[in-house]
Structure 1
Amino acid sequence: MAVLANLDRKTRYSLLAGLALQAAAVIGLISFFGAREGTGPRQESGPDSWDVALQSVRFDSVEEVERLFARLSYHWPLAEGSLVPRIAIDPLPGDYQPDLEVSRKKALFFRAMLPLALAENGEIRKQREFVKRVRDRAGAPLDARSRERLRLLFGQYRVEMTEDLTAAIDALLQRMDEIPPALLLAQAANESAWGTSRFARLANNLFGQWTWRDGQGIVPLERPEGESYAVRKFPSLRASVRDYIHNLNIGHAYEELRALRSRQRQAGQPLDALALAAGLTRYSQRGEAYVDEIRSIIRGNRLEVLADVGLAPPGAQVAVSDGDPVRSTGG
């Protein structure tokens, strides 16, 4: 029995009408190739929020970041099963430039990006756990708070909330899922030149996301005449990571990736970054060559090990030297 059937008619129609209005309000242009404009899930607050907070630390120099990593025994490459400190080096230090020695650049970039990826996946994991609990209790009445949270998730992931709530939730779960850190880090490295590109530095844009909204982006120097898009500005690197994940989760161009991921879930397998890369042929005009490039980055940097790492337990503050500006943030 569907959960919606337990609601009175007025509440049920109000819930569905609200979702329809929210979906109708979503307006955007979609590019066949490349990353498109997306709107990541809203961040909630409170004891039962989805938020996975990181301690944000800002440094002026690569050397300062490396010293912090050393104090935390946060080394690269990571060992299988490692726990990653809950820190966000966001933005990257001012002297992090293209001419930095390659091994140092890669080690810093991967260690800076990994907590962001794990935190965003952690928030999605919380969302999935909540939605699965609703599905498993099909037939039980929902309180007002749970109904509102569910309605927002359906709207954010652009899934129709039908009378058959169990089937609707299954469709939602196919979209509302994690992106393996190995795949995320490989694409971030490729799209942002290891975080040194103009758009990474000036717009916190790691994945080439576009926007058509005035004042919200940077115009590419080589934008074709007649085009109106810009490269989107983000308030933080983590916001770019969040938008990238959401783009893969809702974009029409990435239906194949979501289908591959769903099959891995149904088979009880861990998410395989190398296999899921096959769903990225429409992320770039290079198509299969782009997929090969992403897989090469994953293999060449042994990123597969990231499937078995996680964030350190919450609560402990990172010890930094006197004068280092530190703040905790959910993104």
Structure 2
Amino acid sequence: MYQTIIEQQAYATARSGIGGDVFAPRDTRQCLRRLSYDPYAAGNGRQMVPRTFVERLPRDMADIASLAERQKTFITLMLPIVLRANEIMSLQRSMIRAESDPLMLEQAMRQYDACDLEQLDRRFDVVPPSLLLAIAAAATDWGRERTAHDLMALAPDSLASPANLPPSAVQALGGARRSHYRDLLSPMLDVIHGINTYRDGAALRRERSRQRRSRRFDGYRLALLLDGGHLKRSPFVRRVLYAMEGGALTRLDHAKLEAPVAVVH
């Protein structure tokens, strides 16, 4: 999903970065040097987020004593992945809605339980970056936990669902999820799919629909509805809200990835 296409031609080699560049990090210093951008400047529209992705969080994330520094590092590493996951969801949604390919729509409807187009659309909806970052931060304590070589889960089971399975299969398997991830993009896609198919999320779905119509993200308002809108929050949702407030994550909802590149040698 981090595709890069190398095409050999008669007089040149064309390299197209459809997804971007992915690398296995040695430590946080290497990550920050390679990414080299300010996520909050990107949120304000003064900078674009690079198409450079870490496969996993570096081990020394747990050694960063300062919470503010760990927050900034976590956001810098995770924001490109969050935006790429939303980009994939948006592309899939556009492909399903494409009237020019009725066969593709027919196959999608068959795979996803013959649901109507509106329901299918919702399952491939994007999620505000602030909410995705806050869920990942709450699940990992800003990257301090689960940073070994095995890739971490970025959300509890109730908020993650295998993106490569139709909802009926997930329900039949009792909420199955992947046991091992190849990179950080896969669990992020599962989180988006889990939010989109959230069983007890009627209030959440209504708010998502309202935001979609107005074309304005509001991750904090959606976070308030993760418990169905009840005043008594679960401990995890409280951590999500604290993460969103402590990291000023709503400032990142308008950040955008750089455009895909094509380099000819």
TM range (shorter): 0.7 to 0.9
How many angstroms does 1:199 deviate by? 7.0
Q: What is the distance in 1 between the residues matched to 2:259 and 2:3?
A: 21
**Identical positions, percent:** 26
Please list every run of at least 4 consecutive aligned residues from structure 1 whose deviation after the TM superposition is greater than 4 angstroms. 42-46
Match 2:38 to one of 56, 64, 75: 75
Q: What is the distance in 2 between the residues matched to 1:258 and 1:294?
A: 18
Deviations 1:186-206 (A, max 9, x none): 110001111222377634212
Match 1:153 to one of 105, 108, 112: 108
Name the aligned partner's letter for residue 260 of structure 1. E
How many angstroms does 1:120 deviate by? 1.0
Matches within 5 A, 1:13-162: 53-70=19-36, 74-79=37-42, 80-81=44-45, 82-134=47-99, 143=101, 146-147=102-103, 149-154=104-109, 158-161=112-115
1:183 matches 2:131: yes
Matches within 5 A, 1:207-226: 207-209=155-157
How many angstroms does 1:85 deviate by? 0.1
Name the aligned partner's letter for residue 114 of structure 2. E
Match of 2:122 in 1: 174
Deviations 1:116-143 (A, max 9, x none): 1111111111222233442xxxxxxx65
Structure 2 CA distance for partners of 1:151 and 1:192, relative to 1, 3 Å: farther
- TM-score, normalised with respect to structure 2: 0.74
Name the aligned partner's letter for residue 154 of structure 1. M
Match 1:246 to one of 190, 193, 206: 193
* Alignment check: 8 A CA contact 1:175 1:258 kept: no
Match of 1:258 in 2: 205
Match of 1:218 in 2: none
Structure 2 CA distance for partners of 1:196 and 1:290, relative to 1, 3 Å: closer
Deviations 1:152-206 (A, max 9, x none): 43356x4534xxxxxx212222332011100000110001111222377634212
Name the aligned partner's letter for residue 77 of structure 1. Y
How many angstroms does 1:276 deviate by? 1.0
How many angstroms does 1:292 deviate by? 4.1
Q: What is the distance in 2 between the residues matched to 1:107 and 1:86?
A: 18
Structure 2 CA distance for partners of 1:308 and 1:230, relative to 1, 3 Å: closer
Structure 2 CA distance for partners of 1:242 and 1:314, relative to 1, 3 Å: same
Structure index of larger Rg: 1
Q: What is the distance in 1 between the residues matched to 2:70 and 2:107?
A: 39
* Alignment check: 8 A CA contact 2:97 2:105 kept: no
How many angstroms does 1:45 deviate by? 11
Structure 2 CA distance for partners of 1:86 and 1:65, relative to 1, 3 Å: same
How many angstroms does 1:304 deviate by? 1.3
C-alpha RMSD over aligned residues: 3.3
Match of 1:232 in 2: 179
* Alignment check: 8 A CA contact 2:3 2:20 kept: no
Name the aligned partner's letter for residue 67 of structure 1. R
* Alignment check: 8 A CA contact 1:204 1:235 kept: no
Q: What SS does structure 1 have at the residue aligned with 2:261?
A: coil
Deviations 1:74-128 (A, max 9, x none): 0243340131000111112232225443222111111111111111111111222
* Alignment check: 8 A CA contact 1:191 1:206 kept: yes
1:297 matches 2:243: yes
* Alignment check: 8 A CA contact 2:2 2:20 kept: no
Q: What is the distance in 1 between the residues matched to 2:4 and 2:110?
A: 18
Name the aligned partner's letter for residue 236 of structure 1. D
